[in-house]
C-alpha cells in the first residue's frame, strides 16, 4: 500500500462551506454559505436577492475596521479571517468618512448614530465625535447623522473621563459619566415638583426629556426646566 503524498491530501478547508454575513442598512445580518472561498461582489449581492445589481452598492468590512465598496467583479477571500461581513444597500453612490486614521464608506446619505458608533467600534470607554468647523459634535445613539457628500467627513474616538460637569440653570453639577434616567436627573438637580426637565441642545433648542427616558450625560451639557403647558407657576 502506497502512502498518499501530503500534497495530494484533501484540503478540508476547501471542502468546508464558508460563511458570509450580509445585511442591508438595517444591520440585520443574514448568514449565507459558499463552497468556493473566493466570491465576487456580484455573487454576494445575488445571494442576498439584490436585483438588478446596478441598483445596489456592495460594501465589505475589512479586518482593520475599514469599509470599502466593491466592484461587481471584485473578489473577497472568505478564508481570510475578518473579511466575511458585507453590506448590500440600494443606492447609486457612496459617502466617504474617516474615524481617526481609518477610511470608511457608507451607501446612504444618513445613518443612525447607533449604527455609526458600531461601525466606528465605539465602546463605553470612548465617545464618537464629529469634527466640525467650530469643534467637536458628539454622536449619540439616537441621532441621525447626515454625510455632507462634498468632502470626506471626519470623526474621532475620544477617551472619556469618569465624571462630567453639567449645568442645571445657574448651578454646576458633577455627575458620573453614564446613562441617567429622566427621573434620576430630576432628583439630582432638585427640579421643582411637577416641572419638566429640558436639555438645551448646542443650537439653543430645548428638548424635553420624557418620563422613563435615558440620556448619556456628557461634559458641558446644559439643562433647564419648565412648567407644563396649561399649568401656572
Q: Are strands 153-159 and 126-132 parallel, antiparallel or unpaired?
A: antiparallel
Q: What does pTM read for this prediction? A: 0.67
Which class does domain 93-160 fall in?
A: mainly beta
88: left (phi over 0), alpha (psi -120 to 50) or beta: beta
Which alpha helices (H) appear in the chain, and where do they start and end?
12-15, 41-48, 113-119, 182-189
CATH of domain 163-226: 3.10.20.90
Q: Answer for the pair 233, 196: CB distance below 8 angstroms, yes or no.
A: no
- Cell numbers 461634559 label which residue? 219
Q: Are domains 17-91 and 163-226 of this chain identical in fold?
A: yes
Rounded distance, CA 120 to CA 218, Å?
A: 19
Cis status, amide bond into 52, omega within 30 of 0: yes
Q: What is the pLDDT of residues 66-101, one digit of tens each?
A: 999 999 999 999 999 888 999 999 999 999 999 998
Q: Answer for the pair 98, 154: CB distance below 8 angstroms, yes or no.
A: yes
Rounded distance, CA 70 to CA 151, Å?
A: 20
Q: What is the pLDDT of residues 161-200, one digit of tens each?
A: 889 999 999 999 999 988 899 999 999 999 999 999 999 9
Cell of 72: 461587481
Q: Answer for the pair 199, 209: CB distance below 8 angstroms, yes or no.
A: yes
Rounded distance, CA 221 to CA 58, Å?
A: 39
Q: What confidence category does residue 232 fall into, taking pLDDT thresholds of 50, 70 and 90?
A: low
CATH 1.10.760.10 fits 17-91, yes or no: no
176: which residues sit within 8 A by CB, 6+ positions away? 162, 163
Q: What confidence category does residue 50 fall into, taking pLDDT thresholds of 50, 70 and 90?
A: very high
All structural domains of the chain with their residue ranges:
17-91, 93-160, 163-226
pLDDT value of position 203: 86
Q: Answer for the pair 99, 120: CB distance below 8 angstroms, yes or no.
A: yes
Q: What confidence category does residue 111 fall into, taking pLDDT thresholds of 50, 70 and 90?
A: very high
Amino acid at each position: 500500500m502506497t502512502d498518499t503524498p501530503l500534497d495530494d491530501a484533501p484540503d478540508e478547508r476547501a471542502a468546508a462551506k464558508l460563511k458570509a454575513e450580509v445585511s442591508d442598512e438595517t444591520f440585520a445580518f443574514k448568514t449565507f454559505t459558499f463552497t468556493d472561498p473566493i466570491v465576487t461582489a456580484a455573487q454576494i449581492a445575488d445571494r442576498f436577492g439584490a436585483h438588478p445589481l446596478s441598483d445596489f452598492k456592495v460594501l465589505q468590512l475589512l479586518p482593520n475596521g475599514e469599509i470599502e465598496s466593491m466592484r461587481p467583479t471584485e473578489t473577497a477571500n472568505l478564508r481570510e479571517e475578518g473579511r466575511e461581513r458585507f453590506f448590500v444597500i440600494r443606492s447609486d453612490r457612496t459617502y466617504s468618512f474617516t474615524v481617526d486614521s481609518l477610511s470608511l464608506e457608507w451607501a446612504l446619505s444618513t445613518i443612525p448614530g447607533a449604527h455609526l458608533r458600531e461601525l466606528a467600534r465605539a465602546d463605553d470607554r470612548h465617545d464618537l465625535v464629529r469634527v466640525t468647523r467650530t469643534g467637536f459634535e458628539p454622536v449619540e445613539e439616537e441621532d441621525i447623522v447626515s454625510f455632507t457628500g462634498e468632502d470626506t467627513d471626519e470623526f474621532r474616538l475620544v477617551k472619556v473621563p469618569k465624571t462630567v460637569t453639567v449645568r442645571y440653570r445657574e448651578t454646576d453639577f458633577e455627575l458620573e459619566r453614564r446613562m441617567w434616567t429622566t427621573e434620576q436627573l430630576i432628583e439630582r438637580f432638585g427640579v421643582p415638583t411637577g416641572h419638566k426637565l429640558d436639555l438645551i441642545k448646542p443650537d439653543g433648542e430645548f428638548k424635553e426629556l420624557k418620563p422613563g427616558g435615558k440620556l448619556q450625560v456628557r461634559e458641558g451639557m446644559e439643562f433647564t426646566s419648565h412648567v407644563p403647558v396649561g399649568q401656572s407657576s
